[in-house]
A and B are shown apart, each in its own frame.
Chain A
Amino acid sequence: MSDMLGALAGMGMLALIIVLFFLFLTEMGALKKETARFLLRCAGIALLGGIAYLAIGALLGQMVYGPIDSAADYTDYYRSAYLKTVYERIPSSSWYGLFTGIYIFLAHGFSKLLLGQTQFAALSLAWMMTSGAFCLIGYRVWKLYGQQTAEKALVLLAALPGAVFFFLPGGAPAGLLTGSLIFFFLGRMLPPKTLPDGESTGYRIALSFCVVLSAFSAAMLALEKVA
């Protein structure tokens, strides 16, 4: 419970800093208010996804492995050899593949900024990278296909099978952010298209199945069924 409270407190402060940064950009005229509101919504979709995966990890972890306080801390909600390796390498900032290596390097620096809180830095960096990626993807899709399409796309992205990895330390958030940067810049060359508002039945069905499969992959990770 104490670690959970601490994580919430830390995340809350980081979220406030990001909100203040957005407000600063709008007051400087660097960002329109409408754009700032939309980007915050994109980040909000990402954060909600992260909270959902954290919740299922906590639920399964608690029921299967015992009360939360008996686990080392919330980073133990999801267990795999890969995650263990990532956490071990952050303090020394040792390389481990391209995207994982980039991630470890950034997490090492961020943990110094957070006065040595390595595990919290690792987790919050993953969330920040994913939120940033969601903002970039959301913005480009908005400009190409409209706001509603962008929001639907982001919800689908957060619900993709395996999306839990976007919210865990490792190469996935770094890879997602890199991909979103490429899409953001190259996407300008795509022709914009007006898509109809509203949701199709196909989207709803696809989203529902994605949600179930995504929860399944998160559960596999929480129950240590993944290497």
Chain B
Amino acid sequence: MKKQKWMTWAAVALVSLGLHYAVLILSQILIQGSFTFSGFIQMITDRLTEPGDAVRYLDIARNGYVREGENAINLVFYPLYPFLMRALSVLTGGRLALAGLILSQTCYAGASVMLYELLLLDHDHQDAWWGVLMLALYPFSMFVMGVFSEGLFLLLSISCLYAIRKRQPLLTGVTGFLAALCRLQGMLLIFPAMYEAVVRHAGKSREKWSWKEAFVLLIPLGFCVYLAINYHLHRNPFQFLIYERDDPWFQTSKWIGRNIALQYSQGHQYEGLDWIIYYPQIILYFLALGTLFFGAVRKEKTMYLLYGGVYLGFTYLSGWMISGGRYMLGCVPLFLILAGIRKTWIKHMLLLLSGVIGFGYALLYYMGFSIM
């Protein structure tokens, strides 16, 4: 039984990674005309270790947070991912980019396995596989392969949800704490954790409270550690908000409706980015909302719906969002709900649609388009 379990896990990890490598290789063939190993490595370097946030993470891993200079704004990036990159670089001979790639892809493989196990709690192994494949073929999932925090965040958030389901408050607290140190959305895991605790102990079943439940408070503590870093550097625990408001992010919190309206207007304004950034973000919002309502009708676990709703709402409160597709990769409840669709032909169609569109966006990304 144990050997079978390991073999299944290995299969899940290999298929998840394998799909992404297949997309990478096929994209390289389309872009460069043929497959060469050097060309493959060059594409990985150019598109998975150098664009966007990757440069920032590498700088933090190399130099840490700084008080002054143009890299002071790196403070807006959370510390766990670059810290782990730095630690892993001991094994890669100091090569941070390689450490980042290994870290991201290993975490993503682990996240796929955890997602599989989480789905097995409520579904059979076929549905669990569907969830894993939906995650792998999500249109903006190529970022799990690069020097980005997506893979790590997925591993930690899925592990936290698993720990909540397994009623392990210490593991819930630890994984949630680390998730909150990895991304701002990690803090939102306190919602499903508290919800389950309240319903179990104050709801119909009225289980006795245990002191161990207090471990879930580690989750917001992760965010407090990040605030402490802000304070240590700038004597202001919310310094990151000041940096986010300025160039190049111009991020403030605005109501969801206003942000969606703005994105539609921006899609008209910046024609080259309309179907790259803005319209997909709008479509994703409504698809995610629809999926959550579908989950409610299908009696999906309320803690998943709650986490999904809070995650969606929090993400789309961003006033100048350009990475919505990437952020929504972390909205795990969507994959949990979609895995439970009963009609097989609908699942097939969704996978086909997601996979085809996902390949398109991955190809555009590897070609150099500004998909963030």
Instruction: Give me the interface of A with B, judged by CB distance under 8 Å.
Output: 1-3, 5-13, 15-17, 19-20, 23-24, 27-29, 114-117, 120
Q: B255 contacts which of A12, A15, A16, A114 (Cβ < 8 Å)?
A: A114
A20 with B255: CB separation less than 8 A: no
The reply to whether the CB of B166 lies closer than 8 angstroms to some CB of chain A is no
B316 with A28: CB separation less than 8 A: no
Question: B196 → chain A, closest Cβ, in Å?
Answer: 10
A23 with B296: CB separation less than 8 A: yes
B264: chain A residues within 8 A (beta carbon) = 1-2, 5-6
The reply to whether the CB of B6 lies closer than 8 angstroms to some CB of chain A is no
A9 with B293: CB separation less than 8 A: no
Q: B289 contacts which of A13, A20, A116 (Cβ < 8 Å)?
A: A13
A19: chain B residues within 8 A (beta carbon) = 293, 296
Q: A16-B292, A19-B296, A115-B254 are in contact. List 10 more A-B contacts (CB 8 A).
A: A5-B260, A6-B256, A6-B260, A8-B257, A9-B260, A9-B282, A9-B289, A17-B309, A28-B202, A29-B204
* Complex A-B: 12 CB contacts under 8 Å: A2-B260, A5-B260, A6-B259, A10-B255, A10-B257, A12-B289, A13-B256, A13-B289, A27-B204, A28-B202, A29-B204, A120-B258
Question: A38 → chain B, closest Cβ, in Å?
Answer: 15
Question: A89 → chain B, closest Cβ, in Å?
Answer: 20
- List residues of B (240-265) whose CB comes within 8 Å of A's CBs: 253-262, 264-265
The reply to whether the CB of B313 lies closer than 8 angstroms to some CB of chain A is yes
Q: B302 contacts which of A1, A10, A20, A114 (Cβ < 8 Å)?
A: A20
B282: chain A residues within 8 A (beta carbon) = 5, 9
Q: A3 contacts which of B261, B312, B316 (Cβ < 8 Å)?
A: B261
Q: Give the residue among B260, B286, B313, B317 with the most A Cβ atoms within 10 A.
A: B260
- List residues of B (194-209) whose CB comes within 8 Å of A's CBs: 195, 198-199, 202-204
Question: A54 → chain B, closest Cβ, in Å?
Answer: 14
A9: chain B residues within 8 A (beta carbon) = 256-257, 260, 282, 285-286, 289, 316
The reply to whether the CB of B306 lies closer than 8 angstroms to some CB of chain A is yes
A116 with B302: CB separation less than 8 A: no
A117 with B257: CB separation less than 8 A: yes
Question: A144 → chain B, closest Cβ, in Å?
Answer: 28
Instruction: Give me the interface of B with A, judged by CB distance under 8 Å.
Output: 195, 198-199, 202-204, 253-262, 264-265, 282, 285-286, 289, 292-293, 296, 302, 305-306, 309, 312-313, 316-317
Known: A17-B309, A28-B202, A29-B203. A6 touches B258 (CB 8 A): yes
Q: A10 contacts which of B198, B256, B296 (Cβ < 8 Å)?
A: B256
Question: A176 → chain B, closest Cβ, in Å?
Answer: 24
Bound state CA distance, A10 and B286, in angstroms?
A: 11
A28 with B199: CB separation less than 8 A: yes
B302 with A13: CB separation less than 8 A: no
A2 with B261: CB separation less than 8 A: yes
Q: B261 contacts which of A6, A12, A15 (Cβ < 8 Å)?
A: A6
A5 with B203: CB separation less than 8 A: no
B292 with A5: CB separation less than 8 A: no
Question: B311 → chain A, closest Cβ, in Å?
Answer: 12
Bound state CA distance, A28 and B292, in angstroms?
A: 21
A27 with B302: CB separation less than 8 A: yes
Bound state CA distance, A15 and B309, in angstroms?
A: 11
Question: A96 → chain B, closest Cβ, in Å?
Answer: 25
Bound state CA distance, A115 and B253, in angstroms?
A: 8
A114: chain B residues within 8 A (beta carbon) = 255
Bound state CA distance, A2 and B204, in angstroms?
A: 44
Bound state CA distance, A37 and B277, in angstroms?
A: 38
B286 with A20: CB separation less than 8 A: no
A7: chain B residues within 8 A (beta carbon) = 257
Bound state CA distance, A20 and B292, in angstroms?
A: 10
Q: Give the residue among B253, B262, B264 with the most A Cβ atoms within 10 A.
A: B264
Bound state CA distance, A7 and B302, in angstroms?
A: 25
A29: chain B residues within 8 A (beta carbon) = 203-204
A3: chain B residues within 8 A (beta carbon) = 261
Question: B285 → chain A, closest Cβ, in Å?
Answer: 6
Bound state CA distance, A114 and B317, in angstroms?
A: 10
Bound state CA distance, A9 and B257, in angstroms?
A: 5
B305 with A13: CB separation less than 8 A: no
Which residue of chain A has the shortest Cβ distance to B312 in the bound complex?
A: A13
B293 with A117: CB separation less than 8 A: no
Which residue of chain A has the shortest Cβ distance to B319 in the bound complex?
A: A115
Which residue of chain B has the shortest Cβ distance to A12 in the bound complex?
A: B289
Which residue of chain A has the shortest Cβ distance to B308 in the bound complex?
A: A16
Known: A12-B286, A16-B289, A20-B305. A28 touches B204 (CB 8 A): yes
B296: chain A residues within 8 A (beta carbon) = 19-20, 23
Question: B234 → chain A, closest Cβ, in Å?
Answer: 25
Bound state CA distance, A121 and B253, in angstroms?
A: 16
B260 with A117: CB separation less than 8 A: no
Known: A9-B286, A20-B309. A116 touches B199 (CB 8 A): no
Known: A20-B302, A23-B302, A29-B204. A6 touches B257 (CB 8 A): yes
Bound state CA distance, A24 and B200, in angstroms?
A: 12
A120 with B199: CB separation less than 8 A: no
B289: chain A residues within 8 A (beta carbon) = 9, 12-13, 16
